[in-house]
Chains A and B, each alone.
Chain A
């Protein structure tokens, strides 16, 4: 899709792998079966975490990168 000119951000629990194969904007997700959620958290906290992940993803989309770059999600909300 990026070859077609549409910037993308990949949220994945395997950011190193994503970086190695050349995804340009990568956000480190939670775990493989639930990249944007964490069943061990209470619902409210899980949703807040998801919001932080997506915010990081949108920030990544607004950041110029020159090579595959991993964006790390802040541990707790701002």
Chain B
């Protein structure tokens, strides 16, 4: 059998170009393994070969995101690998983000398996964990050898087309994928067993981890509202009549923004709610019940605050995962910041 061809993405530091002073260097590539790629190659053994190493400065990558992604992608594609390995990035945020973007781009466009290594808290994890087998690396690069060995093991399995086991067994961060497996006890039996263990104070493993909410420190209050630009954001699904962009009534796959410049009042002739629970009826009678545009316009005219942003942002929270909601908020926040928004009024059903 042919060797499994591996392309390896690393940053400028691990490529031996330099540290913090070299984070602005653009993407480049070399044949064969470099730096951590040497341990990776050793772990791949005879079965796999690091055919190409692509590297880039972390600042360059993150500051020239679209361009860097494109350049790195073309270097990866040119190696026509069977697998991409990126990192490990440990707890390095910029490096982790770069790895995550490379993994996502390559997985989506080359349709090959991608493997990385990161600390669970690395911001790159959220960005790419659905598409990437990310080995939980811990924070310290001292674990390089151990982590690259696990990454190499996964890369070989994926390259051979072997079935990959569950995250805990294989050492990767859960991708949010559920696979059906046959077990010998029905759900009732399993639930009661878990409950008994819980009551006895024994450890047990849940089959359905609840979403965790990481607290956000409250930002400072607005000091002078008369100087503040406000934005309206809602998860109540308020959309123009007919829902032209087909916002889902549940498990929304997107957020949308709608222009409200010059509109003083939302009327049921023009707007409705796509929200599954928001009982469209109340919205059809008066959408201001979900999105208080009328009152905010009134207060804007009274100079209670400086200005209401010219569009509002909408999604549907009903059944939408915390992960998706976090992603939408992140994207919306980026737009709001760019438009100088000082505070957000968010209505939820």
Contacts and interface: CB of A to CB of B under 8 A. Distances in A.
B337 to A, nearest CB: 6
Interface string B268-304: 0000000001110111011011111011101100001
Contacts of B337: 4-6
Contacts of A1: 233, 329, 332-333, 336, 344, 346
A32 interface: yes
Contacts of B288: 36-37, 50
Interface in B204-220: 213-216, 218-220
B343 A8 contact: yes
B277 A32 contact: yes
A2 B344 CA distance: 9
A10 B233 CA distance: 9
Contact of B289 (A21, A39, A54): A39
A22 B215 contact: yes
A34 interface: yes
Given A7-B343, A33-B349, A34-B289, A67 B218 contact: yes
A14 B219 CA distance: 22
B282 A33 contact: yes
A38 B285 CA distance: 11
A55 B228 CA distance: 15
Given A4-B330, A4-B333, A35-B236, A54 B344 contact: no
26 contacts: A1-B332, A1-B333, A4-B333, A4-B336, A5-B219, A6-B337, A6-B342, A7-B218, A8-B346, A12-B348, A14-B348, A29-B348, A32-B277, A34-B283, A35-B347, A36-B288, A37-B282, A37-B286, A38-B289, A50-B288, A50-B292, A51-B299, A54-B295, A58-B305, A61-B221, A61-B228
Given A35-B290, A36-B289, 13 more contacts: A7-B343, A8-B345, A9-B345, A11-B346, A12-B348, A22-B214, A32-B278, A35-B348, A36-B295, A54-B295, A62-B221, A62-B225, A65-B218
